Amino acid sequence: MNILVTGGAGYIGSLLTVRLVQEGHDVTVLDNLQYQNPFSRMNMMLDGSSVADALLADPTPEEPKSFQFVEEDVRNRAVLSQVIQRGSIERIVHFGEIVGEACKERPQEAESINQDGTRAVADLAKQRDIPLIWNSSSSVYGFREGDELLDESASIPATNDPYCVHKLAGEAYMSENDIACTIVRPATVGGLSPRMRIELMPNHFAYMIFTCGGIELAQPDHYRNVIDVNDVVDAYVALLDQPPLSGTYNLGHHNATKRTFVDRIANLNGDATVIPGEEGGHIRSLCIDSTLLEQATGYRPTRTIEDTVRPFQEILRERPEVLTTPGSKNISDTRWKEITAFAK
């Protein structure tokens, strides 16, 4: 199958691209490479290396060996149209957005890419009658008291968090314009990738506990749902392996408090010092129910929290700078300040 992956050099997209190529699909990646070029590491994985071994190797400026690549961002409708036509694209998976803290650090760029760019992808998918899968977020559920499971019919609270505002605007656009789209709302994702993101909660917790021996933890009793990035990739593959679905689907695995996640990671390290952290940022607490996606695809996540973070120990033991170095763009400015403050 001919598949276009926007943001295919990003945290989830790079792993999905490798997997789809390994399964024999013809993949085209469209990405503006604003963070880093992960292609040497992706090439190593396509040659049989693990993601950990690929991360430990020094990156080199390589071209991808087994898939097509177009360096552009998703706002360029003319290039998108050419890519779709030239590649005889049959399915589109859209990750090509700015996410997380970067939406606050670069608000105008984030709004333009996340709204104008996503609309461009959606419009072209509709014009060409190409099924679209789009990566939204479970963060849109916001703050909920207790551990009640939220399914896709749960009410969505008002928010001023830019990332959630962009995601909700995208979901509304799909609905209002009758876009044939599978909207996926993933939980908080963690694990190794050719393009690392240390600021994601499981990755940040693992880094702090394994390197600093402790962590500043705000809102320890707030709930999160966490899923391994490889489980996310498996779910996307399951969606692509069947006739297209329309609708919204939660994608998560482990519902627990933030303190529970810290304790489980700390058990791998022997122990960890936990001190109260400052309140701030987008306050959310939620547990999600992913039964609908499981029923639709037959896929159920399998990785434990320990499976997700254990590989960090090897990386951090051998080359900690691979995962986070100031200016490496693997980590947001906010998270880097937290790490250096705790280390002092």
Q: What whole-number distance in Å separates Cα of residue 252 and Cα of residue 232?
A: 8
The domains of the chain, with CATH numbers, are 2-343 (3.40.50.720)
Q: What is the pLDDT of residues 72-100, one digit of tens each?
A: 999 999 999 999 999 999 999 999 999 98
Place of tokens 């009658």: 129
Name residues whose C-beta falls within 8 Å of residue 140's C-beta, 6 or more positions apart in sequence: 156, 159, 164, 167, 168, 171, 185
Q: What is the pLDDT of residues 6-55, one digit of tens each?
A: 999 999 999 999 999 999 999 999 999 988 899 999 999 999 999 999 99
Residue 333's pLDDT band (cuts 50, 70, 90): very low
At residue 257, φ and ψ (nearest 5 deg) are -75, 160
Residue 291's nearest CA partner among 256, 254, 255, 250 is 250
Query: Does the CA dihedral 212-286-282-233 come out positive or negative?
Result: positive
Scanning the chain, the segments in alpha helix (DSSP H) are 11-22, 39-46, 51-56, 77-86, 102-105, 107-111, 118-128, 162-176, 201-207, 229-240, 258-269, 291-297, 305-318, 333-343
pLDDT at 221 > cutoff 90: yes
pLDDT at 314 > cutoff 90: no
136: which DSSP letter? -
Q: What tokens appear for 235 in the block?
A: 């779910």
pTM: 0.94
Q: What is the pLDDT of residues 147-185, one digit of tens each?
A: 999 999 999 999 999 999 999 999 999 999 999 999 999
Q: Output 326 or 246, whichever has higher pLDDT.
A: 246
